[in-house]
Structure 1
């Protein structure tokens, strides 16, 4: 028996997995893999992508074990996430293809595991900076591919879905497969880059070029949802700034007022949706979505409580998805609305669980950001606002990069504000209030 073993030392492997340098490298690897999933699958195949995710999951379990003394098991995973993922697993038993549904659940659970690991080995600023580094590379690669395809070679790269229309000022897809996916990632990048700028986490020149890059790709994507997302996030940022600069004695009343105004605003927007759609020039896009949603609601009434089983992105050869595409003469891979997708796949029970999970994360992170001094804590609620707003038009939040970011934000919010934290003060408690992190501590 070695001296290190007798003293309970973790050994070289445990020291490596528990080190800050490995945590940063692991976080970048996870974010890079999941955000580049479309590119990896279309260049190297789905098996390659699955192998990478499996390796990252196994490594993540090792990281959690090596850090077990500093992580509270009571606060490891939000209860609402456990219940939601558990209901997804239960739906496997009544899905039309239980095998395919089960493997879809495995992928969903795997991405959630990766997010939980990131949420416990990186703080908010470190997570935002890692995401910023990854998105700078991926957005730069997207621009380079579009320039190569649309200007230098003037041929589409069909094997990765690039149409090569940058010379026509879009729409472009980059390495993300669709213009809506590129626009969505660009908005997440803008939030992250602006937070980096405010916290002085990167050099001013890098920060400025990053914002310009994300803004340019958002515009060139010509996605009808980008303008809505940008306006929603901008409004949320302005309101959060107002709350942060309000005295603590008046903050509670202001929060309730804001909540009431938001509810009233949603009612007004829904009532005036027709003129707003004409103003945005998205009649055709919304007409397609409305037809799809109306058709899907008809299938909900057959299994209103439990849904048709969890698949995440549609298994287009399974009922009712194949039937929907047949009657609409389309080839949809999702409901183009995360809430409708949850409703059709998990029923009303699943929708309530999903909304509860997302709303709890948003409320916790919003309250945390309104009370903390550092602007970095605004990153979590603003990312959540973007995710939940985009869920009205796409289903990105239910799989891949959207699901990863949703769970990461929920874990971070739960660590700062959780009823379980009041039961016991232990390791892995509330994140200290930091203003910025020095470059050598990355």
Structure 2
């Protein structure tokens, strides 16, 4: 089959999925397309690469610092649209900002750290993109119907990225590449197998939640068509996880799906203490594996080497290279600092060690850029997100299960990948989970519908009062008596 024919057939199939997944009852805003477009770009490739304006890879320091002005303009435009949306929703946004103290403090410290970065200008540009990630999370959380907004977020991104990833892997050369060791890897719409595994794991996790929600509500509009669309999307995700061979993403998908299904059980979701016990059990299991030296066995079961595909060697070489353990090298600046040269020197017997630009551990990555202060702040952000996700079970158990799954799987994902970096899908979805769980636990979700319900009750009370006055007046005129009128209403 030719490439053009495969793309045409895929396009028709994607249009069919959008049609099957239609939900006329959803009242999401058009502004939801801004975070969707943002995540489609972040979860695939920069726009300039799609149009051949920029090469697939460029390893020079100058290109890393400057980036693409076209891509920067696109991100800046999306960020501006997002800020405009939030300004129009400022009454909704203000309560969130009051409750997002740990995240705001972390962001402000990142901004301050720009001042001691080796290249302050590029570091500040990257910080503005990090602010963009938070803006996109707020746009989703403050939508008129945030539950439907989340469902459409997963569906629209998934319908576009996942089917076309399979087409690119099967029918094009741009969907396949070689890893640093020279082995073949499937990349799909992304740039490497780990990026493909990450976006597929995140979208598939959201799809599991959407499917479970649909199965639990038999009165949902167009339920049958949406079930077909969501099941197809989950099937695409499972196939792509297998094709990507990203062990971390597979593990986190299984972990997150298990949490969604387990917390969906009535015996768990109605008892927050049991949610804590479930998460504590997961944490203790992971800790025992590390303490008892079982990392090699687990890695082997996941298809990795006992050194986690060389990650332990990277960690051993990069931690001593940090020149400022307390404050770090500056926001997202370690790999453009002289300390990175010391790391490359420490990493002996590696082929093209100078091409390594991440620590493959989110916590170590934060330590390198922001020091121990940054590690403490990011830990505070995660703990706050976890606590609010658990607290959300009292308000909306279904959505709370999804938020908890993102926070916990994000914490585990960052053990072997840099999950907290700017413009990384994992970090964005962790932010979405933290911001949304903040809104749920504080009772900010559903406030509009509550006001509508209150107004309806008030209107009904007024109608009842008016009817009573009319009845009394009619009775005084010799018409139907009060008892007869009540009797007629009863019948």
The normalised TM-score by structure 1 is 0.79
Measured against aligned partners, the alpha-carbon deviations of 1:305-329 in whole angstroms (never above 9, x if no partner) come to: 11111116x64x4221233234424
Give the C-alpha shift of residue 373 in structure 1: 5.5
Partner residue, 1:321: 340
Q: How many residues align?
A: 388
Give the C-alpha shift of residue 332 in structure 1: 1.1
After superposition, the Cα gap between the structure-2 partners of 1:135 and 1:48, relative to the gap in structure 1 and judged at 3 Å, is farther
Q: Give the conservation status (yes or no) of the 8 Å contact 1:116–1:407.
A: no
Partner residue, 2:249: 226
Q: Give the conservation status (yes or no) of the 8 Å contact 1:115–1:404.
A: yes
Q: Secondary structure at the match of 1:65?
A: helix
Q: Distance in 2 between matches of 1:69 and 1:189?
A: 30
Q: Secondary structure at the match of 1:398?
A: coil
Q: Give the conservation status (yes or no) of the 8 Å contact 1:27–1:127.
A: no
Partner residue, 1:439: none
Q: Give the conservation status (yes or no) of the 8 Å contact 1:187–1:218.
A: yes
Q: Distance in 1 between matches of 2:255 and 2:359?
A: 22
Partner residue, 1:245: 267
What is the root-mean-square deviation of aligned Cα atoms in Å?
2.9
After superposition, the Cα gap between the structure-2 partners of 1:206 and 1:258, relative to the gap in structure 1 and judged at 3 Å, is closer
Q: Does 1:198 align with 2:216?
A: no
Larger radius of gyration: 2
Q: Which moved more, 1:343-352 or 1:92-101?
A: 92-101
Q: Secondary structure at the match of 1:336?
A: coil
Q: Distance in 1 between matches of 2:34 and 2:276?
A: 40
Q: Secondary structure at the match of 2:185?
A: coil
**Structure 2: gaps of 5 or more residues:** 1-26, 55-67, 215-222, 450-491
Partner residue, 2:390: 366
Larger RCO, structure (CA 8 Å, separation 6 or more): 1
Give the C-alpha shift of residue 26 in structure 1: 2.9
Q: Does 1:257 align with 2:280?
A: no
Q: Secondary structure at the match of 1:117?
A: helix
Q: Distance in 2 between matches of 1:285 and 1:138?
A: 32
Partner residue, 1:24: 32
Of 61, 67, 84, the residue aligned with 1:62 is 84
Segments ≥4 residues shifted beyond 6 Å:
none
Q: Does 1:94 align with 2:116?
A: yes
Of 175, 178, 183, the residue aligned with 2:192 is 178
Q: Does 1:338 align with 2:362?
A: yes
Q: Does 1:83 align with 2:97?
A: no
After superposition, the Cα gap between the structure-2 partners of 1:259 and 1:204, relative to the gap in structure 1 and judged at 3 Å, is closer
Q: Which moved more, 1:254-263 or 1:138-147?
A: 254-263
Measured against aligned partners, the alpha-carbon deviations of 1:290-317 in whole angstroms (never above 9, x if no partner) come to: 01111122134x42211111116x64x4
**Structure 1: gaps of 5 or more residues:** 1-18, 150-155, 422-428, 435-442
Partner residue, 1:413: 437
